[in-house]
Every structure is written in C-alpha cells, then in structure tokens.
C-alpha cells in the first residue's frame, strides 16, 4: 500500500531510528539513544533544507552539515545512506569495525558526506563557525551584483549538552556572535542526559537561550522534537536570519520511543539490548525480526539526488555566467579551491642579508607580507597577540560584522581559534588558514591541533616565543616540553627555523603542504642571519635536517656532530668552529624539522648523520625527550629538563648553558668519553 506524505515522513524517521538501533546492537558498541531522539530533526534538516548533491559531495556551494555531537554519528551515517550518498547498508552493518567506512565518530576523508572530524565535544561547533567565517569571506570576495553570486550557502550543525559544557563552545559562539555570522544555524539537542545521569547533577544552572542571546545570537526554541512542522518553521527562521547566527533549543527525549530506555543515561552510550530493540520496533510498527530493513518508499522519499542535482545545476549556470563576466576572478577561484598560490609567489619571497640580527617572528612577518598578494584567500589571526606574534596581513583589513577582512580578531580564545581555523580549512577555498599565539598556549588548543593532523587539514599554526629565551615572563610562559609533545603527534610537521632565511623556507614548506598541518615555532629574541656563502643554503630545511657546515677532513667523515634547532643554530655553529680550530673534524647540522628528516631516504639521513660517528651533541632549549633517536646511546643532549626562570632572556639562556662556550665544553667532554 502506498504511503501518504505523513505516513512516509513518520516511516522515514522511524527507519533512521531502526538503523541506528540495529547498527549499534550489531557492533555492541555506540550511542543509539541520541540518534533516536534526533531522528526527526536530522530528517527535517536533510530532506527540507540541505542543499547538497550525493553524486558530488564536494560541490563548492553545497550547504555544510556538522554533527558536533559526534558520538551520535550513526545518525549521520543512516541519513547519508538513506539520502543517496555512497554509503551502503553493509557499511552500517560494519559500524565501528576494522576497516569499515563507518568509524565510531565522524572522520573527514573517511566517509562520503562527512565534512569534519568531530569527537572531542565542542570541536564541531567551532568547526561550523569556521566554515561560516570562510563562506562570508569568499562571498564578499567573489560575489558581484547582477546575480553573479557563486558563494551562497548555509552551515547547519547539531550540538549536545556536552558540547555546550565544554568551554570551547563559549569561545567559538562568542566569536560567531561578535562577527554576526548569519549563515549558521545551530540546533541544540536538549535531551538532559549525560553519561553520569541527568543534567540536573551538572548542567542545570544555565539558561541556554539567554546565554546565546547575550553572545549576540538569534535564539529560538522547539518544545517537541517530534513535531516536524515546528522544527521546519524554526530552521527556516534561522536560515532567513542574515545578521546573526541562530541557536535553536530543541527539547528531545533520548532513546525515544524505546519503552524502557527513553530518558535513561544507559541509552546514551550502550546498545539497547535485543529485547528493547524488538520492543521498540513493535512500537514503531516494524517487524522485530527484520534487521537493517528499509522500505523502498523511504528510499524514494529521502533520496536527495534529484533535488541536489537541480540545485547544483542552477548554481553551475550562475557560476558559468559569473566566470564569463569575471575571468580573472574565475582563475583566482580555481587556484584557491585547488589550494594553490598564484604564480610567482616563490620568487617574491625575501632574502635576508647575512649579519642581520632579526627574530624569526619578525622575519616571518616580512615573509607574510611578501606572499600576501599571491594568496588572496588566506586568512587568519592571533589570540589577541598580533603585536607579539607579528602575524598579520598589513593593509588587508580586519574581519568584522561589516567587512570580511583577512585578519581575524580571535581575541583571547585560543581553544575556539583552533577549532575555527580547522573549520575554515575544511570548508575549501580558503588557502592555508592560520592561527597564532605564544607557543606555551598551544596547550590550550592541543585538541584542535591534533584534529588538524588527524583530518589532514592544510592549516598553519604559528607559535612564537618558542623557548626560555623569551625571558622575563618566566616559567609560566616559557615552553620546555612542547617540542617533544607536539613532535609526538602523528602527521604534523613541527618546524623551528634557525635564522631568517630558514624562516623563509619554513613558510614556503608550510604553504606547499596539502595533506596536513605545519607548525612554525618562532623566536622572540633576535637571531644572527647566517652567511650562506660560508654555510649551506637554507633550502636544506626542506629535507628536515642538513649539514650546515663541516670543517672537512681527509676522508670527509667528522669526529663530532653538533645538531641544533632554531635560535640556537648560530651559537652552535660558533661552537663548532671553535672546536674545529683545535683540529677536531666537526660537523654542524641544522635540524629544524624531525618529521621531514624522517621522511628522507636512508642514504640521505646517513649522509647527514653517519652512524659510525658516535660523538653527537644536540642543542635545543627544551626537554631532551626524543633526542636519543638522533644522538644515539653514546651521544649527549643539551636541553632544559626542568621549568624555566624569570629574567632577561639572554641571562636565562646563559644560566641554562646555551652559550657557544658551554656547547664547546659539553662537546669536548663527549669526545673525551668517546675515546
């Protein structure tokens, strides 16, 4: 019997619930309750609002959907399957299993239709803000009067109690409200349940609508999550609001309509059990003996292919007309969406004169001004530290409610900044978004940095004041364990350039990487710019480590290798030359990036750090953890295996042994032990 519209709507919603229950039950792992409660909301978003084409999930002007409450990802997988994305029932059957396309939380690049990797709560909310930030910037840059508007889409997101409890949500929401990002519709699942029980015990003192209203948001409420028409009206009102982001509080009941599991904490993070699944299917009018069943009419009703293809075709017509009218903008568009800078950018980079003393943060600023004209869709900012980090595109305007400039004033919101930068990177069209702060405050944004690496996002993290050499602010601001901690993270390149010209190459590497983030660790203190006619070219940085200087010898093999990073490279070179003056065959290696060096061939690594040379000394003002890999069992490391101290930076470095004289003395002692 053919279903009427109300029947097929209800059957579709209940099918989402049934698929969620079956998938979690088969895996015996997952979060069924939230997916069941949110089925009407997700159905409404996907079938009545989302402009997306399952046949082309990367269509640039599609609406974006972000599930910040990533633990409920089976909801998203069920929607993607039912609406026609390349995700099959067998993929749902393989939920949370080895090698499947349906992991336990959403993963970008892993599942078609998943925009961002969410899991740590609050991250998806920040990602959604970053996507809207990107949309407005691109719209202001490319849209023209007369209907020539290739950028015009919304970001729809769902968040949970857990997302709103995390401080990141406050930071990201504050930025969105400050900037008036009106293309964002955020739906809050008010199910009042967490793992430990009801929110009465931990989250009952907030009026969420007043909170978001105070942050500058448009706020709405839906008192019954089962009322599709009420949901439709609220989402439409949010979509039509252009001056403010919209927050919709949706009252739901976790695990609805399970007879015994509804409104229970147990249904949040565990399979319901076979008996409860059967009972729930009976309540919904499903055959309890059927698993992963979908009525053909549900597939037909929910398929987005026709609507998505029509929307994309209309956009394509607009895009082609815009391209014909604005060919220069179209050429720039193509480069931006492929992640490329305009031709000639490499040649425009500065070359610093030997002998100049300049902090790598200041050198980095000059590099940014040089490549800025060649990267018109690159944007970013600092956590209220532009004067210190020097990360700004001069004359490019500030991002505000009235103008989407390239310089984003994130304020003192490191955690929010990290998630927003990732969202801008995931959006596409924004070439190399960046975030910047003191290196010590990478602690506040570690989750975002990790997700940029996991998601293979081409973003840049610029951290200055990279060592105890920053001085007077003392140990609370002096990073010591941070090099080791971030190098331990997979798929991130941590680069600590040794002078101004290495800083140029470091930025070049960062701009060219497409499969993950690059972290630049830059100095506050001035560094001597090396004479590259006397030492190797700074291009050696591209290989992670290189022989900067070698005193030579009859067979070319050194007796001693000194390895340094960052601001300590020039003093290590000075020490190496003094040692060589006594006849010791000495090599000085600049090693700005472990990860790039590890990626080189065995032959190249052997040419820089030959195994037979046991006398190796590393020099870096951070914990020595990890350096044994490069100096070997008989080598030595000059580092800082303790917290810093408050004093002028030069005094701190001297007290901790970072002088040419002490480096030479440590090397002499090492050589004596080796012989």
Q: Within a domain: residue 296?
A: yes
Indicate the pLDDT class of residue 4, thresholds 50, 70 and 90.
Answer: confident
Q: Within a domain: residue 474?
A: yes
3-state secondary structure 639-652: CCCCCCCCCCHHHH
Give the distance, in angstroms, between the CA of residue 544 and the centroid of all CA atoms in the same chain.
23
Same domain, 135 and 193: yes
Cα–Cα distance measured from residue 73 to residue 95, given in angstroms and rounded to the nearest whole number: 10
Q: Kindly state the helix (H) or strand (E) to which residue 139 belongs, with its residue range.
A: helix 123-142
- Angle (deg, nearest 10), helices 5-27 and 73-83: 130
Rounded to a whole number of angstroms, the distance between the first and last alpha carbons of the chain is 91
Q: In the predicted model, is pLDDT for residue 215 greater than 80?
A: yes
Q: What are phi and psi of 189, to 5 degrees?
A: -80, 95
The whole-number average pLDDT for the span 105-117 is 97
3-state secondary structure 352-389: CCCCCEEEHHHHHHHHHHHHHHHCCCCCEEECCCHHHH
Same domain, 274 and 198: yes
Same domain, 405 and 477: yes
C-alpha neighbours within 13 Å on the C-beta side of residue 31: 26
Q: Within a domain: residue 331?
A: no
Q: Within a domain: residue 520?
A: yes
pLDDT tens-digit readout, 369-389: 999 999 999 999 999 999 999
pLDDT tens-digit readout, 40-54: 999 999 999 999 999
Of residues 570, 538, 549, 388, the one with CA closest to residue 462: 388
Domain boundary among 501, 528, 555: 528
The whole-number average pLDDT for the span 220-249 is 98
Cα–Cα distance measured from residue 595 to residue 492, given in angstroms and rounded to the nearest whole number: 8
Of residues 597, 365, 332, 539, the one with CA closest to residue 464: 365
pLDDT score recorded for residue 204: 86
Looking at the chain, the whole-number percentage of residues with pLDDT higher than 70 is: 99
496 Cβ neighbours under 8 A, 6+ residues apart? 466, 483, 521, 565, 566, 592, 593, 620
Q: Within a domain: residue 334?
A: no
Q: What CATH code is carried by the domain that includes residue 664?
A: 3.40.50.920
pLDDT tens-digit readout, 262-291: 999 999 999 999 999 999 999 999 999 999
pLDDT tens-digit readout, 114-135: 999 998 999 999 999 999 999 9
φ/ψ region of 125 (left if φ > 0, alpha if ψ in -120 to 50, else beta) reads: alpha
pLDDT tens-digit readout, 560-617: 999 999 999 999 999 999 999 999 999 999 999 999 999 999 999 999 999 999 999 9
Residue identified by tokens 């060649």 is 374
Cite the active site residues: 414
Q: In the predicted model, is pLDDT for residue 147 greater than 90?
A: no
Kindly state the tokens that stand for 275. 């008996």
Same domain, 356 and 300: no
pLDDT tens-digit readout, 632-663: 999 999 999 999 999 999 999 999 999 999 99
Q: Within a domain: residue 272?
A: yes
Looking at the chain, the whole-number percentage of residues with pLDDT higher than 90 is: 96
The whole-number average pLDDT for the span 483-497 is 98
pLDDT score recorded for residue 555: 64
Distances (CA, A) of 77 to 8, 101, 111: 20, 10, 9
Cα–Cα distance measured from residue 459 to residue 468, given in angstroms and rounded to the nearest whole number: 26
251 Cβ neighbours under 8 A, 6+ residues apart? 190, 221, 222, 223, 224, 225
Kindly state the tokens that stand for 91. 């993929």
pLDDT score recorded for residue 553: 64
pLDDT tens-digit readout, 432-478: 999 999 999 999 999 999 999 999 999 999 999 999 999 999 999 99
Cα–Cα distance measured from residue 134 to residue 267, given in angstroms and rounded to the nearest whole number: 37
Q: What CATH code is carried by the domain that includes residue 386?
A: 3.40.50.970
pLDDT tens-digit readout, 14-27: 999 999 999 999 99
Domain boundary among 499, 528, 557: 528
Same domain, 117 and 142: yes
| Containing structural domain, residue 665 | 542-674
pLDDT score recorded for residue 674: 80
Distances (CA, A) of 422 to 129, 138, 154, 180, 382: 10, 16, 17, 19, 14
Of residues 79, 67, 43, 45, the one with CA closest to residue 236: 45
Of residues 83, 82, 111, the one with CA closest to residue 95: 111
Helix, strand, coil in percent for the chain, rounding step 5: 45, 15, 40
Indicate the pLDDT class of residue 501, thresholds 50, 70 and 90.
Answer: very high
Same domain, 501 and 600: no
Q: Domain count for the chain, please give it.
A: 3
Query: By the 8 A CB rule, do 535 and 589 touch?
Result: no
- Torsion sign across C-alpha atoms 229, 232, 238, 241: negative
Same domain, 550 and 503: no
Distances (CA, A) of 115 to 132, 315, 553: 13, 20, 56
Same domain, 507 and 556: no
Same domain, 574 and 512: no
Q: Within a domain: residue 318?
A: no
Same domain, 167 and 280: yes
Same domain, 168 and 230: yes
Cα–Cα distance measured from residue 23 to residue 12, given in angstroms and rounded to the nearest whole number: 16
Indicate the pLDDT class of residue 554, thresholds 50, 70 and 90.
Answer: low
Domain boundary among 463, 498, 528: 528
Q: Within a domain: residue 591?
A: yes
Of residues 229, 235, 222, 223, the one with CA closest to residue 186: 235
Alpha helices in 145-219 (DSSP H): 161-165, 167-179, 208-214
For the chain, what is the radius of gyration of the CA atoms? 28
pLDDT score recorded for residue 1: 54
Residue identified by tokens 């147990």 is 266
Would you give the DSSP letter of residue 393? -
Same domain, 600 and 482: no
Q: What are phi and psi of 589, to 5 degrees?
A: -115, 130
Chain mean pLDDT for the chain: 97
């Amino acid at each position: 019997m053919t279903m009427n519209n109300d029947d097929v709507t209800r059957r579709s919603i209940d099918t989402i619930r049934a698929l969620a229950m079956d998938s979690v039950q088969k895996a015996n792992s997952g979060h069924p309750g939230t997916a069941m409660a949110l089925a009407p909301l997700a159905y409404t978003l996907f079938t009545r609002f989302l402009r997306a084409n399952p046949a082309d999930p990367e269509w640039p002007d599609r609406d974006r959907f972000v599930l910040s409450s990533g633990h409920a990802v089976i909801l998203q997988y069920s929607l993607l399957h039912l609406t026609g994305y390349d995700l099959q029932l067998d993929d749902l059957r393989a939920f949370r299993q080895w090698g499947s396309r349906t992991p336990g939380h959403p993963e970008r690049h892993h599942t078609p239709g998943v925009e961002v990797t969410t899991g740590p709560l609050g991250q998806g909310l920040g990602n959604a803000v970053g996507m809207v930030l990107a949309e407005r910037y691109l719209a202001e840059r490319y849209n023209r009067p007369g209907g020539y508007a290739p950028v015009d889409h919304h970001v729809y997101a769902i968040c949970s109690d857990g997302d709103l409890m995390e401080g990141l949500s406050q930071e990201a929401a504050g930025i969105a409200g400050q900037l008036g990002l009106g293309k964002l519709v955020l739906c809050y699942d008010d199910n009042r349940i967490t793992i430990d029980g009801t929110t009465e015990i931990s989250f009952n003192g907030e009026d969420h609508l007043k909170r978001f209203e105070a942050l500058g948001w448009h706020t709405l409420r839906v008192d019954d999550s089962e009322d599709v028409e009420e949901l439709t009206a609220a989402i439409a009102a949010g979509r039509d609001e252009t001056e403010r982001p919209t927050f919709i509080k949706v009252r739901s009941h976790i695990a609805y309509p399970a007879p015994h599991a509804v409104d229970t904490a147990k249904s949040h993070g565990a399979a319901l059990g076979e008996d409860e699944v059967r009972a729930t299917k009976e309540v919904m009018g499903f055959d309890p003996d059927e698993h992963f069943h979908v009525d053909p009419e549900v597939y037909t009703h929910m398929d987005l292919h026709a609507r998505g293809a029509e929307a994309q075709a209309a956009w394509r017509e607009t895009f082609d007309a815009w391209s014909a009218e604005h060919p220069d903008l179209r050429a720039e568009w193509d480069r931006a969406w492929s992640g490329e800078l305009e031709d000639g950018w490499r040649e425009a980079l500065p070359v610093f004169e030997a002998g100049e003393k300049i902090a790598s943060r200041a050198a980095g600023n000059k590099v940014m001004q040089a490549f800025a004209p060649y990267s018109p869709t690159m944007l970013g900012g600092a956590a209220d530290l532009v004067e210190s980090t020097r990360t700004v595109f001069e004359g490019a305007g500030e991002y505000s409610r009235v103008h989407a400039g390239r310089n984003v004033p994130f304020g003192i919101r490191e955690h929010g900044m990290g998630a927003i930068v990732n969202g801008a990177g995931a959006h596409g069209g924004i070439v190399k978004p960046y975030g910047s702060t003191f290196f010590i405050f990478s602690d506040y944004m570690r989750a975002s940095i990790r997700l940029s690496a996991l998601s293979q996002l081409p973003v840049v993290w610029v951290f200055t004041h990279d060592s105890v050499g920053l001085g007077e602010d003392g140990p609370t601001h002096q990073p010591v364990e941070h090099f080791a901690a971030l190098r331990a993270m997979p798929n991130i390149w941590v680069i600590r350039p040794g002078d101004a010209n290495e800083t140029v190459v470091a930025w070049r590497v960062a701009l060219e990487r497409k499969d993950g983030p690059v972290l630049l660790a830059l100095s506050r203190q001035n560094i001597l710019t090396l004479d590259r006619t006397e030492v190797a070219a700074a291009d050696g940085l591209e290989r992670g480590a290189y022989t900067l200087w070698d005193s030579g010898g009859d067979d070319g093999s050194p007796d001693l290798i000194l390895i340094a990073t960052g601001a300590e490279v020039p003093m290590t070179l000075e020490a190496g030359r003094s040692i060589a003056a006594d006849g010791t065959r000495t090599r000085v290696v600049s090693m700005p990036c472990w990860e790039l060096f590890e990626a080189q061939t065995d032959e190249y690594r052997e040419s820089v750090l030959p195994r037979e040379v046991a006398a190796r000394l590393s020099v870096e003002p951070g914990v020595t953890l990890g350096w044994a890999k490069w100096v070997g069992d008989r080598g030595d490391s000059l580092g800082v295996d303790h917290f810093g101290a408050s004093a002028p930076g030069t005094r701190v470095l001297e007290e901790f042994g970072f002088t040419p004289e002490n480096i030479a003395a440590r090397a002499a002692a090492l050589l004596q032990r080796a012989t």
